[in-house]
Chains A and B, each alone.
Chain A
Amino acid sequence: MKRQVAASLLCAATLLTAGCAVQGRRFEKASAPPDNAVIYVYRPYHYGSSLLRPSVTCGEDSARIGPGGYHAFVVPAGSGPILCSVEGAETADQVEIDAHTRVYYIREEFVWGVLSGHPHLNPVDTDQAHTEIAECCVQEP
């Protein structure tokens, strides 16, 4: 009986610490062809809403990012603003990026909603993003 309880507790502790975090490689800079902008969308690890993986779209590319993951969107620069959007079960969020040949960071975060978390796309300054995205792993397709 004690062994069963211990096993259950160990299992719960493992789930709590590991969560459903993305298990890819640690953050590394993406290479982009000239005349392109890179938009990193990252999702710092947080246990809340960890089961939600709404689709994030930037330009023509899209990805579902798990907690602790990131995805690098390479988009053509100088062709007008690029629309990044995320659609949750209850709400959606959009943000426009004036894509020049540089790097942008967007943090995906969840605030709570009626039945499920509401996703937000929050553009973040480079300095702040560097420390946060360093903890994230690449979202494997």
Chain B
Amino acid sequence: MRGERRVMRGERGAVMRSSLIPPLLFLAAAVASGCSVQQPPPAPAVAEAPAHPLPFKGRLVEGDASAVPPAVAMSLSSTSAVTFIYREELTHDDYHIPLIVTAFDPVTYVGAPLGDLGVTAFASLSITDGDRVLGDYTAKVHVSKSYTLYKEPTHREVEQGARAAVREQIDQKLYRDADRLAEALAGAGQPAAPAADK
């Protein structure tokens, strides 16, 4: 009788162990495969055209020739009838986490951000041929960099980043519109300069 009982207990134990295996396997599979929210695949980035001259030349009537988008800088000519008007404005918006918060936060002392330096750059470019506006482009970019107790960027670095980014945006808009601009100028009788290899 005792032996039978022992056998019975042993069988029950075996049954219990075997019944535990599927849930454990399921759990392991879930852990291994991950139950996190699946991130959608990143959208394919639009290939940005490298800097090259526009298919026409223009004269800068407003703006600093050393501070214009690269495509405009490469397409300047003092004798052209087409004019460029380029404006760029920067606004600063720094953010500092209050000292009362950061002073008592242990992560401050291991290099957590204490705030950030932000610059918003707004640029506008107008291309005119006499009284006719051929194109009007605007771009706005916000760049910010955080600073810590141990390391911080200068405002100048953030400004330069914002300026470069906004000029890049203007350039890309120009490149997308270059064919239309060239056609508009050709229709007006303006010679279009041969475009560089795109």
Contact of A96 among B66, B99, B152, B156 (CB under 8 A): B156
Question: What is the bound-complex CA distance between A94 and B157, given in angstroms?
Answer: 8
What 0/1 pattern do residues 116 to 132 of A give for CB contact below 8 A with B?
00101111110000000
> CA A93 – CA B154 in complex, angstroms?
5
Q: Which of A17-25, A30-38, A69-77, A106-114 contacts the other chain?
A: A106-114
The complex places the Cα of A98 from the Cα of B64 at a distance, in Å, of 10
Bound Cα distance A125, B152 (Å): 23
Identify which of B67, B92, B102, B154 contacts A94 (C-beta below 8 A): B154
- Given A98-B64, A123-B92, A125-B91, A111 and B156 touching (CB < 8 A)? no
CB atoms of B92 and A120 under 8 A apart: no
Q: Tell me if A55 is interfacial: C-beta within 8 Å of chain B.
A: no
Q: Which A residues from 83 to 119 make CB contacts under 8 A with B?
A: 83, 91-96, 98, 111-114, 118
B interface residues, Cβ below 8 angstroms from A? 64, 66-67, 90-92, 94, 96, 99, 102-103, 114-115, 117, 147, 149-150, 152, 154-156, 159
**Pairs across A and B, CB under 8 Å, 18 listed:** A48-B99, A93-B154, A95-B154, A95-B155, A95-B156, A95-B159, A98-B67, A111-B115, A111-B147, A112-B149, A113-B149, A120-B117, A120-B155, A121-B155, A122-B94, A122-B155, A123-B155, A125-B91
Using a CB–CB cutoff of 8 Å, the interface residues on chain A facing chain B are 48, 80, 83, 91-96, 98, 111-114, 118, 120-125
